[in-house]
Amino acid sequence: MSASIEIDNVTKRYGALTVLDDISLSIGAGEFVVFLGPSGCGKSTLLRMIAGLEDVTGGTISVAGQRVDTLPPGKRGVAMVFQSYALYPHMTVKQNMSFGLENIGMARDEIERRVLAAAETLEIGHLLDRKPAKLSGGQRQRVAIGRAIVKEPKAFLFDEPLSNLDAALRGRTRLELAQLHHRLGSTMIFVTHDQVEAMTLADRIVIMNARKIEQIGTPMDVYQRPASKFVASFIGSPAMNFLPVTAWENTATGLAVTTSGLGRVETGFKVTDGTSHDGATLGIRAEDITVVTDGRPGVPLTAEVVERLGDRSLVYGVLDDGTKLVVEADGRSHIKADDRVTVSADDHAFHLFGADGRAYLREAE
């Protein structure tokens, strides 16, 4: 079972403090949506409002076409998986999974069917008689997910469920969640501040910042076409390089932009004649800057730190005018600190942001 979720002009205030300001969002039935953003941006609060754990100050929330923001949590048809697992330590895995169903008076044979089916889906059938103290962190998280599955909800809500796991287990559990979504076809909303989790799990990412939604899009949409300087800096590792614009002019082939460090570059953008460049920024990702080894023209860069990641190396360097720049090199590169190299940027890979932080679009976009 899966259901669409509609969030219409939702606002959340605590007294004079506004936590979420006029949020609207449509989530399709069966979609996996990730709320991504820094701490304090309101993503967990929005999830808790959908679950009914926080009241709505203004606006409405609907699940499967039914308004639910006035209903108690148990009547909303959603199930939440918490960061802390929240398992009963004195109960076995089976009892933890069945307890909520027993409380609503469900028939014993139906409870048994649901628990066994969820255990098979999550591959924890051999753990049903164990208590939480005898489980690993990953196993506890699977039990918490199983407790949600047995409710057969219209939507699953995950509040940073992987943050308590170590790196290797986090990666493995992330894969299991993706497989679970594929098997169940359920609507899932997942809250995280980890962009890797967002990029690998989401059908769409909702990027939040300062009480607002900055951008909604597929993982590659938000990576390749960030709607704002904030999104460009938040998505991608390392963060996008930003260069202050010192001048620009429209030419026959597009906007010629002059920056500190890289000088004059041709781009595919166009601005209205007379528009000021004051406060504008040119952005480019490290992988779109090449270390030149064949004599082609470029600009000199002095390497300060080289980060070797196996398949690639990241060169953190400084241009002759003092501008900092991160460049991607081949993993087999022998570049080391204090080396002088020549770098060249891909003219078609630039991003341009106005003084308000919003992205300009290329004419083709």
Average pLDDT over residues 42-50: 95
362 found inside a domain: no
CA distances from 208 to 21, 113, 211 (A): 11, 40, 7
pLDDT (0 to 100) of residue 142 = 86
360 found inside a domain: no
The pTM is what?
A: 0.89
299 found inside a domain: yes
Q: What's the domain range around 319?
A: 241-353
Residue with tokens 């991003």: 351
Same domain, 245 and 311: yes
Same domain, 215 and 119: yes
Average pLDDT over residues 324-338: 91
363 found inside a domain: no
> Does residue 365 register a pLDDT over 60?
no
Beta strands 17-27 and 5-14: pairing type? antiparallel
Same domain, 28 and 127: yes
> Does residue 78 register a pLDDT over 90?
yes
The distance from CA 169 to its chain's CA centroid, rounded to whole angstroms, is 19
Residue ending a domain, among 234, 260, 290, is 234
365 found inside a domain: no
78 neighbors 51 (Cβ within 8 angstroms): yes
Supply the CATH number for residue 325's domain.
Answer: 2.40.50.140
Residue 311 burial class via C-beta count within 10 angstroms: exposed 0-12, middle 13-18, buried 19 and up: exposed
Residue ending a domain, among 204, 234, 264, is 234
pLDDT (0 to 100) of residue 91 = 93
Same domain, 80 and 196: yes
Residue ending a domain, among 217, 234, 251, is 234
pLDDT in tens, 287-315: 999 898 877 788 999 999 999 988 899 99
Q: What is the mean pLDDT of the chain?
A: 90
128 found inside a domain: yes
Same domain, 83 and 220: yes
Same domain, 229 and 259: no
364 found inside a domain: no
Same domain, 257 and 154: no
Same domain, 163 and 32: yes
> Does residue 167 register a pLDDT over 90?
no
> Does residue 273 register a pLDDT over 80?
no
The pLDDT-based confidence of 259 (bands split at 50, 70, 90) is very high
From the list 358, 200, 202, the residue with the least C-alpha distance to 283 is 358
339 found inside a domain: yes
Same domain, 222 and 274: no
Same domain, 181 and 66: yes
Give the whole-angstrom CA distance, residue 88 versus residue 268. 58
pLDDT (0 to 100) of residue 152 = 86
- Residue 189 half-sphere exposure, CB side, CA atoms within 13 Å? 31
pLDDT (0 to 100) of residue 294 = 76
pLDDT (0 to 100) of residue 50 = 97
Average pLDDT over residues 190-196: 92
289 neighbors 343 (Cβ within 8 angstroms): yes
Structural domain count, the chain: 2
Same domain, 227 and 246: no
Supply the CATH number for residue 103's domain.
Answer: 3.40.50.300
User: Can you read off the two tokens belonging to residue 97?
Assistant: 């999974």
pLDDT (0 to 100) of residue 42 = 92
The pLDDT-based confidence of 9 (bands split at 50, 70, 90) is very high
pLDDT (0 to 100) of residue 1 = 64
Same domain, 13 and 42: yes
The pLDDT-based confidence of 174 (bands split at 50, 70, 90) is confident
